[in-house]
Structure 1
């Protein structure tokens, strides 16, 4: 099932796609898609609803983050061999883990705001993994049973903050609007193999990233298991799992986002995003 939320920020309603891909308003029976409350069992109960029985969503409303209740936004760095090569860095022996601030989270088509002193803001299309059941020291063989679903994430990154300003990567990853999520939360039963998803990103209509989750160094099950050794993952938590090659930092010469640039990105079966880069909201 493909879930979404639509409407003005802070006043979103819940919807789902029907079999023909039309947007349906399920808010009469689903007041919120709050994963800490629903968990996997609740999400499975909701999957019995028939979107076709509900009214169509009219017009072209804003799409919000497709669910609520994100307590942690965990990210994995250098998780594609070809991306590590373009960055001139060795393959990691263990997953590189960092955190994105939850205050960076936005809807899939909301503007991306350049920080006032930014000179190296970059793009990264990534597979988002949404936790549906509490995961603590989970075995790799059991890891996927803790996943509620998947979504598209743009791990927007300010490279000067990330690399040249000392400390950890986090300061270049958590700026306001640096975490677009959606458009859909696609439940795990609709994604037979998360390691076989094509992904892409364009800037101003020019293809910059093209790849597949098949080339991950550490797969989804490995990542969920690994991260759960170091922190408890709760329903609603999201992990973004690395990006394929083609980021601006890896271009020769490097190319970074400017005001007015348009990013479009997507992952097969998970939908598409579109963001305009702005200097004020």
Structure 2
């Protein structure tokens, strides 16, 4: 099953995605065309968002870093930074090195504390897609991404929906791609994560209780491409879907 969060007739609501993603079933059973929905980030209010930096060996080499890391680079994201499918993201006039980063997002389904890697995926209820834009001009320290880069309003598109984990047979064998105006600029696989999804759940739960709705943005593969205002960016992950975003100019 796929669940989406939308605004419809002045109400925010969770809906089921049906009919090959062409329709949405409202809580009362009414069907509407997916094109009539205003897509909201499929984020549980109050949930925590953990994000990973430098978690793909090929991307690390691309940036001139060691291909491996002894300890994961984790940072937090506020709810202000998320924007839904087909939404707009501000592109500052001086952000000439702003690039998309498509990422698999794991959604926690039940409380997890001190879980081991062998059992960790049983705590994941679903998956979605994020595009965690980076702006290199604003980055003060690669090893500690600052809020000016990773907590900007509407700079992390997420969605369109959450896919139940039960329909993803192996979350470490999913193709990832990013296209800008139809041109592919990222191509990789979740198989190339340094610390896989189960390992990330185990690591985070070793010091922080993960709660239902919490999200883990698992990092991005190689492919740095600088975007301009007016660009349309499409993030796709095999078995999950397609997330569209539009860059708009701001001062």
| TM beyond 0.5 | yes
Kindly provide the CA deviation profile for residues 232-270 of structure 1, in whole angstroms up to 9, marking residues without a partner as x: 21111111001011123xxxxxxx222111111110111
For residues 189 and 201 of structure 1, do their structure 2 counterparts lie closer, same or farther at Cα, with a shift above 3 Å needed? same
Distance across 1 between alignment mates of 2:93 and 2:208: 33
Quote the offset at 1:158 in angstroms.
1.7
Q: Is the 8 A contact 2:18 2:25 kept in 1?
A: no
Determine which of 115, 118, 123 is the counterpart of 2:95. 118
For residues 243 and 277 of structure 1, do their structure 2 counterparts lie closer, same or farther at Cα, with a shift above 3 Å needed? same
The alignment partner of 1:279 has SS state of strand
1:1-281 superposed matches below 5 A? 1-7=1-7, 11-18=11-18, 20-28=20-28, 54-58=29-33, 59-90=35-66, 91-115=68-92, 117-163=94-140, 168-171=144-147, 172-248=149-225, 256-280=226-250
Quote the offset at 1:70 in angstroms.
4.4
For residues 183 and 258 of structure 1, do their structure 2 counterparts lie closer, same or farther at Cα, with a shift above 3 Å needed? same
For residues 88 and 126 of structure 1, do their structure 2 counterparts lie closer, same or farther at Cα, with a shift above 3 Å needed? same
For residues 22 and 189 of structure 1, do their structure 2 counterparts lie closer, same or farther at Cα, with a shift above 3 Å needed? same
For residues 81 and 168 of structure 1, do their structure 2 counterparts lie closer, same or farther at Cα, with a shift above 3 Å needed? closer
What TM-score does the superposition give when structure 1 sets the normalisation length?
A: 0.81
What TM-score does the superposition give when structure 2 sets the normalisation length?
A: 0.91
Kindly provide the CA deviation profile for residues 3-42 of structure 1, in whole angstroms up to 9, marking residues without a partner as x: 11222698333221235433232322xxxxxxxxxxxxxx
Q: Is the 8 A contact 1:15 1:23 kept in 2?
A: no
Quote the offset at 1:184 in angstroms.
1.3
For residues 26 and 137 of structure 1, do their structure 2 counterparts lie closer, same or farther at Cα, with a shift above 3 Å needed? same
The alignment partner of 1:180 has SS state of strand
Distance across 1 between alignment mates of 2:136 and 2:234: 20
Greater strand content = 2
Q: C-alpha root-mean-square deviation of aligned residues, in Å?
A: 2.2
Distance across 2 between alignment mates of 1:9 and 1:163: 43
The alignment partner of 2:85 has SS state of coil
Distance across 1 between alignment mates of 2:11 and 2:78: 22
Kindly provide the CA deviation profile for residues 161-196 of structure 1, in whole angstroms up to 9, marking residues without a partner as x: 2236x9930321110012211111001111111001
Q: Is the 8 A contact 2:105 2:216 kept in 1?
A: yes
Q: Which runs of 5+ in 1 are unaligned?
A: 29-53, 249-255
Kindly provide the CA deviation profile for residues 217-242 of structure 1, in whole angstroms up to 9, marking residues without a partner as x: 11100001101123221111111001
Q: Is the 8 A contact 2:73 2:144 kept in 1?
A: no
Greater helix content = 1
Matched length: 248
Deviates more, 1:200-209 or 1:19-28: 19-28
